[in-house]
Amino acid sequence: MLSHIPQPPQGMHMNTTAQAIFTVGQVVPCLVFAFIAWRLWQRERTPIAALFMVGGALAMFMEPIVDVLGQVWFPRNGQWRLFETWGRPIPWFIVVYIWYVGGQAFIAYRQLDKGGRGRDIWKLYGIFFLANIVCETPGLYMNLYAYYGHQPLNFFRLPLWWPAVNAAMPILAGTLVFLLRPYLQGWRVLAVVLLIPAADGMANAAVAWPTWNALNTQLPAAVVWAAGCLTVALASLMIHFIAQVADHQDAKRPSAASTAPVRKGRNREPAAV
């Protein structure tokens, strides 16, 4: 029997105007990302940015799964429905995945590819965390969706364990692509499309499992909040390990001095130390 598990709120209706604003608000960054992908394809002759976009779109199918486990509800009434699985209707504005998951994963990948260090990964995590709060808060106060049940770390409708997971997810995706890049030559680069939703599932399962389990019980609030704190700690640990990877990769790169050409000359005196 699952009667003890909190059920989605009833009677919510998705406002048409707010839904239109929120949907258009997701389309604009998607178009910007598409333009960047096109420019990179022309300049660098690589489709990888476009593949990140497609992978982000596929990751949308993780949404209903994490919504059931993490207790999120998009009102059925008045919703412009994109698809429905697990008994969860998913609206069109979930195309946010294209730029939030795919786009931010690409940013993380480029950061690593350009020699980003551990501190750069932590900066990205902080930026992605804040971006999640900025993007989600208006939709929550427009009643376009709701987090229900006994959510831990919930101070202003957005339980903060969610941004901790969501910010780690694209960084893990970008790191996986970066580490597997030597094996993604030729047609194998198409594997990027599958790596993005795979990383989405990995990140959520790896760090959200304590909160998922606590939410779907009748345990005391203190236990549920402890589970939420553990999820934040696990997400931070994931970023710590990725930062270590970044520092290790940076240490393996030859320095500018060691790669500079040596000039030959006659009677050249050694430089002073």
- Record the pTM: 0.87
Residues in the chain, total: 273
Do strands 72-73 and 81-85 pair parallel, antiparallel, or not at all (unpaired)?
A: unpaired
Does residue 59 sit within a domain?
yes
Local confidence pLDDT in tens for the 273 residues of the chain: 455 778 888 889 999 999 999 999 888 899 999 999 999 888 888 899 999 999 999 999 999 999 999 999 999 999 999 999 999 999 999 999 999 999 999 999 999 999 999 999 999 999 999 999 999 999 999 999 999 999 999 998 999 999 999 999 999 999 999 999 999 989 999 999 999 999 999 999 999 999 999 999 989 999 999 999 999 999 999 999 999 999 988 777 766 444 445 454 444 444 433
Q: Is residue 152 part of a domain?
A: yes
Q: Is residue 161 part of a domain?
A: yes
Show Cβ contacts of residue 145 under 8 Å, excluding neighbours closer than 6 positions: 72, 73, 74, 75, 139
Cβ neighbours, 10 Å, residue 134 = 10
Contacts of 58 (CB under 8 A, 6+ apart): 193, 194, 196, 197
Would residue 254 count as lying in a domain? Answer: no
Q: Does any domain span residue 213?
A: yes
188 domain residue, yes or no: yes
Torsion 173-22-160-72 (CA) sign: negative
> Has residue 136 been placed in a domain?
yes
Domain of 123 in residue numbering reads as: 16-249
In a domain, 77, yes or no: yes
Tally of structural domains, the chain: 1
Tell which residue, 187, 46, 60, has the closest CA to residue 113: 46
Q: What are phi and psi of 219, to 5 degrees?
A: -70, 155
Cα(241)–Cα(71) distance, integer angstroms: 28
Considering only CA atoms, which of 152, 107, 156, 121 is closest in space to residue 136? 156
